[in-house]
Amino acid sequence: MKTVEKNTIQTGPYKTYLNRIGQGNAEAVLFLHGSGPGAMAWSNWQFALPVLGDSYDCIAPDLIGFGQSEHPEDPPGSVSVWIDVWVAQSVALLEELGLEKVHLVGNSMGGAVAEHLLDRHPERFERAVLMGTAGAPHRITEQLDTVWGFYDDPTEERMKRILGWFAYDSSVVGDDLDAIARMRLEAAMNPGVRRSFSAMFPAPRQRHVDALAPPDEALERMDHPVLLIHGRDDGIVPLETSLYLLQHLPQVQVHIFGQCSHWTMIEYKDAFNKLLADFFAGAL
């Protein structure tokens, strides 16, 4: 397996921390992470990048306001404005790297950002995978409300409890769960991360779910091939979001894992990686 390169790149007004593996491969894939406390690209994609990097130029940025990317001193006060920031960041990153057209993978909130990218910049993307994705109408779950409200009680115990919800059976994840919890708690306690996250998701939080979803007419004009992947037992972002998108995206297919919650790329990492490879190769 190739080595993951980590560096910081200027993307418009903000600096982006980037994980990259497989540079020089003919096709590129942009990976967008989700929104839990302490979320970052590497914690989401650490089991996918080394495998897919053998065949693809895999680029996985920390979104602005997350991880080691820049944190605005005066952060936006609405998710709609954050979406604009993340869309602009993603396009600026592709420009900076000289990548004209790429495949796209989005997890949870990153799936919603991916939808907005497909709508606003359709010419920049080939195929898209949306995993456990937001970006469709649904009532906020109690678990998601707690995830976004982490800073009401930001303790290691609460972080472990929250991350325990992300897996259907935490014993399957094993030692990886503790390692990810430590990584994410350390990131979450960074003052910049806390400032950004608190600005993104203040209560009441249903409005943030609503803001992530493009209108139906936007979904219906996205003619990219899309693969939806979802855990049947996802208590963070319910399966109904993918079923909704199944009804509104033109070129769409769905793969549902039973006994799986919100972390398909970790709970079923081998199957997840094979699905992506087959889909990008046009074998699905």
Just list the catalytic residues.
Answer: 108, 234, 262
DSSP string covering 87-99: HHHHHHHHHHHT-
Bridge-based pairing of strands 102-107 and 125-131 is parallel
Residues in the chain: 284
E strand map for 108-218: 125-131
- The closest of 21, 31, 8 to 276, measured between CA atoms, is 31
3-class DSSP state of 3 = coil
Give CA 170 to chain center in angstroms: 20
Rounded CA gap, 129 and 44, in Å? 14
**CA atoms 280, 107, 30, 38: torsion sign:** negative
**What are the tokens at 105?**
């993978």
Rounded CA gap, 17 and 49, in Å? 15
DSSP string covering 32-67: E---STT--HHHHHTTTHHHHTTTSEEEEEPPTTST
**Which amino acid, residue 118?**
L
Rounded CA gap, 165 and 147, in Å? 10
Name 220's Cβ contacts closer than 8 Å, sequence gap at least 6: 248, 249, 250
